[in-house]
Structures are given as C-alpha cells and as structure tokens.
Amino acid sequence: MKASEQRLVLVLIILVAVFATGFTTMRMLNWQRTLEKKARSVVMRTNETKQLLTEAPMWEERLAWLRTAQPQMTSVNKANNDLDQSLVETAKNSSVTIENKQLQEPVETSYFHQVGETVLVKTEVKSLMHWLHELQSPESFTLVSHLTVQPVPEDASKVTATVHVSRLFSLNKPAAENTVETKTP
C-alpha cells in the first residue's frame, strides 16, 4: 500500500472515529436528559406523596364527619318530600317565590344517593343569592348543580331563576366497604 493510500485510510478511520464518537455522545446526552426527566418526575411524585401524607389526618377527620353527619336515605319519596319542604321553607324565609317545581330522577353513584328538584323562582337578586347561600350549608348536604338567571322584563328589580337543587345521602353501607386502606412504610 502506498503512503498516500495509507494516509487516506488513516483519515477515513479518524473520520469514522469522530462520527462514532459524536453519535455516541448524542445518544449519551439523550439518555442523560431522559434520566433527568425521570428523576424530576420521581422527585415530584415523592413530594406529592409527602404532601398527601401530611394531609391524611385532615381527610380522615372529614371522612369521619361525613360518615356521622350525612343523612341516610330511608326512601326516595321521603327524601324528595324532605328536600321539597326544605326548599319551600328556606324560600319563604328569604322572600323567594317558587313558581314551578319538577322532581328529578334519583341518582345512585358508588359514593352517594342523590335526589333533586328543579324549581323556577321569581325574586330580587339579593334575595335569590341569600336563599342559595342558605340552601348550600355543608350540614344540609344540599347543592345547586345548575342555575340560570334571567331578568324580568316588567320589573327590572326582579329576576326569574331556574335552579336545580340536589341533596346527597349516604349509601347505607358499612364503613369497611367505603374505605380505602393505605399503608405507609
């Protein structure tokens, strides 16, 4: 082999070595970035887990309150009647006029029973807001899931509102069936 051919082969080997080193370096940098992303993800999950574990006593206390305070549904009719009476009573106390009522289908989820009623009310905005606030106290387990408010054309101080009100009841299951046990290391 001539000296020029040897130099050409040597240059070719050096070029291959440089490209191989560059390719290997790029692969190693990508691998390092992937590992850094995974490490950040693990750190974030660890921090979230620590935060959740520090909040565990608060959530256990809330669950205990929920189990003792949430009413149990004895029958759908009684639950609907109780909700209706509550709506009428609180509306009267807040100077809200109920013009129309319509019961909703009861719903059962894996966490609660729900009965509902859609009411059409006519009142002043301030009275409406006071009534809605009074309805949704935590102890009553009542919620407003839909609200539509429209002004009354004849009287600018009044509004007509369509309100979907629901009440949540416990499932009457033993505590063990609704509990998710977690074990900490």
pTM of the model as a whole: 0.63
In b/e form, how buried is each residue of 43-71, taking b as 16+ CB within 10 angstroms?
Answer: eeeeeeeeeeeeeeeeeeeeeeebeeeee
Mean pLDDT, residues 90-95 taken together: 90
Residue type, 66: L
Q: Between 183 and 84, whose confidence is greater?
A: 84
C-alpha span between 111 and 119 (Å, rounded): 25
Give pLDDT tens digits for 26-82: 999 999 999 999 999 999 999 999 999 999 999 999 989 988 888 888 889 999 999
